[in-house]
Structure 1
C-alpha cells in the first residue's frame, strides 16, 4: 500500500440518499474553516448531473459542491470515474474528465483493473497536495453481491487507509437496523475501518432519541459521532444524481433514473424544506417541467424555485394546461426521451401550448427536442443508428456524432423589445455539456464567450456495444491528466481514448429564439439574476401576476450554515482524532 501524505476520512452510508454528499461537504467546510488544506474525493459516481471544470473536464456535481465548500477549484481528480446512465443497463463512461465510450453494465463491470488504476492514480495526486482527503462512498458498502466489484466503498477506504464514518438516515425510519445490519454484513477487515456511526436528519426533541445512540454504540462496537438535525431549506444538494426507484405510486411508470420522490416534493414546494418566507407565501408563476426519463442536470430548475415559482414535474398533457412556462430539461438520451414524450401525447400538447403563446424553454437535450429533426447516424445515443422528427417548434436540426462539447462560457443575451426575454442586454455564466451539432438557427439566443483559453471538444471512444471485431483502430491523445491513461485489457473498446481538440474561436452563437420558444445549450443560464429576471418579469407581466423577487444567490452562506449546524452536533474531538 502506498504511503500517502494526506490523512483520510470517509463518509459511507447504509443506503443511497442518507446524506453522504452533504456530510462530506460539511466536513470539507469545517476543516477548511479550521485552516486545514482539504479536498474531496469519490472514486466513481453515477449521475447525469455533471459539471465542467476549468480545463474542460467533466465530473459529478457532488464533488464540485464539496470542493467549493473546501474553498478550492473543482478538478476531475476528485471524481475520476463518472457513469452517466443512458438506459437501464448502459452508461456513458467518463474517465479523468473525458468520455471513453458507452458500455453495457456486464461489460463495464467485467474487468475494472484499468478503471481502478485511473482511480488510484487520481487519488495519489490529490493526497500528495492536501493535508486531509474527505472521501465519499456510494450506496451501501454491504451490497454483498457487488463486493468483488465495488471500488467506491471499502476497497477505496482500505487503499486510502481512511477512517470510515457510517451514516444512517433516521428520517426514513429503521436507522438502528440499517446501521447494525450494515456492520454485521461487513467482513472483519472492512468492519475494522469503521470508526464511528452518524445519525442524520433527526427531527424533534433529541432527548426522545435516548437510549438509541448508546444501543447503537454497544451493538456496533464504535461510538456514535453525532446526531445531525434535519436542515430545512438546505440549498446544498443531498444527492449528486437522481435517486433510483423512489417514486410516487402514480409515477411508477417512469424508468428508475428519473426524478425522485424527494426531488419532486422539493421542486413542487410541497415538502418542509420549501416552506420558507421567500417561497411559500406566493408562488404565482406556474412552471411545468417535463419529467424526461433520462433527465440530466436538473439543477437548472433551482433558480426558479428560489425565485418563488411553483414547479411541477409533469408526465401527462393535462398537467400543462395552467403552465405559464414549460421547461424541457436536459437529457442523456434525447431521441429516446423525445419518443417517450410523443408516446404520452406530450409532444402534441407542447405544440398546442406553443399555439397558445405559452413560453417553452428547452435546455440542452430539451433544446434539441424543440427542433425539426434529430439524427444519430453513428449510434452515439443508442444501440443502432436512429432518426426522429422533433417537435418542430424551432427551425433547427441536430446531428449526433462522437463529438462531445464541454466548456465554460460567458453569456450575453441582446436587448429585446418584445418576446419572452424582453428587456435590456443581460449577461451571465454557464457551461456546455452536450453531443450533437445543431444547425438551421435563424435567430440565435445568445453570444457565448469562452471563459478559458481552451474550449475542449472531445471525441468519444468507441462504443462498448460493439464487438471487438468491429472496433476500428484509433490514434489517441491523453487528456488533462496525462499520467493516467486508460489502456489495457479492455482493448480497443475501453482503451480507445477520447481525442480532444481545441476550438480556436473565442466566441460563438448559442441557441435559438422564435416567438415564445427558447432553446439553449447552456446549463446554468438561469443562475444569472439578470437573465432569470427578464424571463420571469416578462411572464408575470403578460399574465398580470406580481413580479417575483430575484436576488443574488451565493452558496457560501449555505456552506457556512451547514458547517455551523454540523459542527454543533458532531463530536469534533472524535473527528479531529481521526485525522491527526
Structure 2
C-alpha cells in the first residue's frame, strides 16, 4: 500500500496552513481514513515530545491529535529551533545533530532531504493519506535551490498542491496570482487549486473576484473558509495578537516575551480561562501589575536572562514579591530563578556562566544530551494530578523531594519551591493543561473562583469545528478527487 498525498502550501507565513492541515486530518479521520500529518521542515521554538522519544514541532503534534494518532518523529523529520538571528539547532528524526548557521544548513540540505524522504516512505506504508504542510511560501525564490520544505519536496514525491491565502490580511488575489507567477512551470502545474482562508463578510461581494481568479489562472477555488472565532488550536510560533481584557474579578498573569521564548503554548489554558487575564511584556514594555508572573521556556536561557535584566524585569519581579505576588518558572524560566546557569560547552551561545535571579536554591549546567520525556505525576503541595513533557539540556542540582514542585510517577522530584511558598519552578511544559493542576496552581496564585477549563477538551471541540467547516465550505468532491479517494 502507498498512501495518497496532498500538500498544503501558503502564500505567506501564518496564512493558516497548520490549521487547514489539522482541519483536513480531523475531516478525514471522521470519514474513517487513516491519515497522518507531515511537515518536511519546520522552523519553530514550540516543540513536543513524541511517542518514540524524539522532538517535533507542536503544530504537527496538534495535527496528530486531530488525526487521532500519537505524535511521531516521522511527522516532522527536520526541525529548526532558532537560537540566534542567523543560526539554529538542527533536529533530525527527533534528535539534535548540532547548531548551524544559514550557510552551513544550506549545504546540509542534501542530507536533510534524505531524512525527509525516508520518513515519507515509512508513513506511506502505514497510512491511507498523508496531509503535508509546507513552510513559509513556495515563492521565496532565494530559497528554491535545494528546497526541502515546499516544492522541492512536492516534486520529489510527485504530489498535488493546494495554495492557501489569508484574506484577512488583504491582497488575497495578489498573493495567489503572484505566488503562481514566481513558480517554475512544473511547480505551477502541480498546484491544483486554491483555498481562501479567514473570510468574514458577504460571500456574494467576493464572488466576482473568485470568478476572475479561476478565469485568470485556469485553476479552481476549492472554497472559502470563514474566520472562526474562539478556536483553541496551538499556534505554530507567533505569540497571540490580541491583548485580553476580561471583565469582572480576574487573576492577572504577566509573562515576559523573551526574544527566544519557547513553547508559549504552555499558556493556552490560561488564555482560555474566563477568570484569568494574561498579558505579555514585550521589548520596552514594563511588567504590568499582576498577581502571578510566569517566566516561560527559552531556547537561549542565558541570553534571555540578560534581556530580562536589560528590561528591568528582575527589579519588577523583586518588587512584585515584596508585595506578596507569586512567581512561577517553566523550563528555562525555572533555570533563571536559580543561583547560576552554566553553559560550559557553548550549547546556546558563547561558553560561560550567568548569575541567576536567586529566588530558588538550585543551579543548572547545560549538558550536551537533551532530556526528552513525556511525564505524569502529582503536585507536591496539593496532590493534584499533573502531566507534561520535558525538553531541556539543563541538569539542575539542588532539587529536593521535600521542596520539589511535583513528584513524578517514576519517583523523581521535579522543580523547586521557595521556603516562603511565593516562588516555584518546574521543567514540565504543559503544566497548566490538566484541569486539576490548573485549578491548584491558580488557587496558589490567589484565584478564588469556581470556573474550570479543560484545554484538551477545547482543542478537540476546535478540531471538530474545523472539520465541520471543511464540509460546509469546501468542494469535498473535488477534495477527495485530489486525494485519490473517489476511486
TM-score of the aligned structures, taking structure 1 as reference length: 0.80
Q: Classify 1:194/1:58 alpha carbon distance in 2 versus 1 (closer, same or farther; 3 Å).
A: same
Contact 1:316–1:345, Cα closer than 8 Å, also in 2: no
The alignment yields a C-alpha RMSD, in angstroms, of 1.5
Paired residue secondary structure (1:405):
strand
1:576 aligns with 2:480: yes
Taking the TM superposition and a 5 Å limit, the aligned residue runs for 1:258-337 are 259=239, 263-265=240-242, 268-269=243-244, 280-282=246-248, 284-308=250-274, 309-315=276-282, 319-337=286-304
3-state SS, counterpart of residue 525 of structure 1: coil
2:329 is aligned to 362
**1:345 equivalent in structure 2:** 312
> Helix, strand or coil for the counterpart of 2:145?
helix
Indicate which of 445, 449, 453 corresponds to 2:405: 445
Change (3 A) 1:162 1:192: same
Structure 2: distance between partners of 1:5 and 1:175: 35
Report deviation, 1:13.
Answer: 0.6
Identify the match of residue 84 of structure 1 among 77, 81, 92: 81
Give the structure 2 partner of residue 241 of structure 1.
237
CA distance in 2 between counterparts of 1:440 and 1:576 reads 57
| Contact kept in structure 2, 1:536 and 1:547, CA below 8 Å | no
CA distance in 2: counterparts of 1:299 and 1:153, whole angstroms: 25
1:518 corresponds, among 411, 419, 424, to 424
2:391 to 433, 436, 447: 433
In structure 2, the CA distance between the partners of 1:578 and 1:533, relative to structure 1 (3 Å rule), is: same
- Matched with 2:453 is 551
Asked if structure 2 preserves the Cα contact closer than 8 Å seen for 1:351 and 1:391, the reply is no
Separation of aligned partners in 1, 2:147 and 2:319:
48
Map residues 88-487 of structure 1 onto 2, 5 A cutoff.
Answer: 88-237=85-234, 239-242=235-238, 259=239, 263-265=240-242, 268-269=243-244, 280-282=246-248, 284-308=250-274, 309-315=276-282, 319-382=286-349, 384-414=350-380, 416=381, 424-442=382-400, 443-449=403-409
The CA distance in 2 between the partners of 1:538 and 1:440, in whole Å, is 23
Aligned residue for 1:518, secondary structure, equals strand
- Residues 135, 149 of structure 2: 8 Å contact kept: yes
Match of 1:274 in 2: none
Q: Provide the secondary structure at the position in 2 that maps to 1:393.
A: coil
Maintained 8 Å contact 2:90/2:96: yes
CA-CA distance at 1:548 after TM superposition: 5.0
SS of 1:522's equivalent? coil
**Aligned-partner Cα distance in 1 for 2:470–2:342:** 49
* Structure 2: stretches of 5+ with no match in the other structure: none
Partner residue, 2:437 = 531
For 1:224 and 1:214, the matched residues in 2 are separated by 9
* TM-superposed deviation, 1:528: 1.4
Give the corresponding residue for 1:567.
471
- Cα 1:215–1:13 change in 2 (3 A) is same
Determine if the alignment matches structure 1 residue 507 to structure 2 residue 411.
yes
Using structure 2 for the length normalisation, give the TM-score: 0.95
Give 1:429 shift.
Answer: 0.9
| Most deviating of 203-212 and 176-185 | 203-212
Aligned residues: 477
Describe the superposition over 1:212-263 as per-residue Cα deviations: whole angstroms up to 9, x where unpaired: 11111112220000000000011123x4223xxxxxxxxxxxxxxxx4xxx1
Find the aligned partners of 1:370 and 1:437 in 2 and give their Cα distance.
14
- Where 1:210 maps in the other structure, the secondary structure is helix
1:5, 1:528 → 2: CA distance?
38
1:283, CA displacement in angstroms? 6.0
